[in-house]
Amino acid sequence: MKKYLIVGLGNIGAEYHRTRHNIGFDILDAFAEASNIFFAPGRYADVAQTSVKGRKLILIKPTTFMNLSGKAVRYWMESEKIPIENVLVVVDEIALPLGLLRFKPKGSDGGHNGLKDIQVKLNTPNYPRLRVGIGNDYPKGHQVQFVLGKWTDEEWDQLQPKIKKSVEGIKSFALQGLATTMNQFNG
């Protein structure tokens, strides 16, 4: 059975719940809810598992905090023997408009500390990711406050269809591969 590691980036703790930086956690929570599975504490991450048409998906939400996400990714890749092309990292992206989805096969960290740590721990920037646009509507010098800020009710409502689309995109990644998924879900 082919295995896939789906990584949602975020920070643990109630103070980070429904913040822009935690969209990776929110999308994995939606995936788990739609699949009727639950997260349980595991090594370096909260973990949930499911199968989709003969493929095993291991979902992790690192408990290492954002800036040390690579530790959890590397541990679960190694312990489950999952090749890098079967890893998908779901991450917030300020360079994209709110709700825009962008599957990519590789890329720079774009100044994102979670991606930066993953790149260092895996020794490569070449791993699939789903970048989810959170917009960049903040005054100069207030990026940290913006990404760690809570969604407005209006933004959260606007994101719901995009979160559902992300869940379908994750399934597509495992079932049809990255190229097909990029064609169907980007934009």
Question: Looking at residue 25, which CATH number applies to its domain?
Answer: 3.40.50.1470
Whole-prediction pTM value? 0.96
Q: For residue 137, give the nearest of 168, 96, 108, 174 by alpha carbon.
A: 96
pLDDT in tens, 22-47: 999 999 999 999 999 999 999 999 99
Query: How far is Cα 126 from Cα 178, in angstroms, rounded to an integer?
Result: 13
Residues noted as catalytic:
21
What pLDDT sits at residue 125?
Answer: 96
What pLDDT sits at residue 126?
Answer: 96
The total number of structural domains in the chain stands at: 1
In this model, does residue 187 exceed pLDDT 90? no
| Residue 104 neighbours by CB under 8 Å, 6+ apart | 128, 129, 130, 131, 182
Structural domain boundaries, residue 24 = 2-185
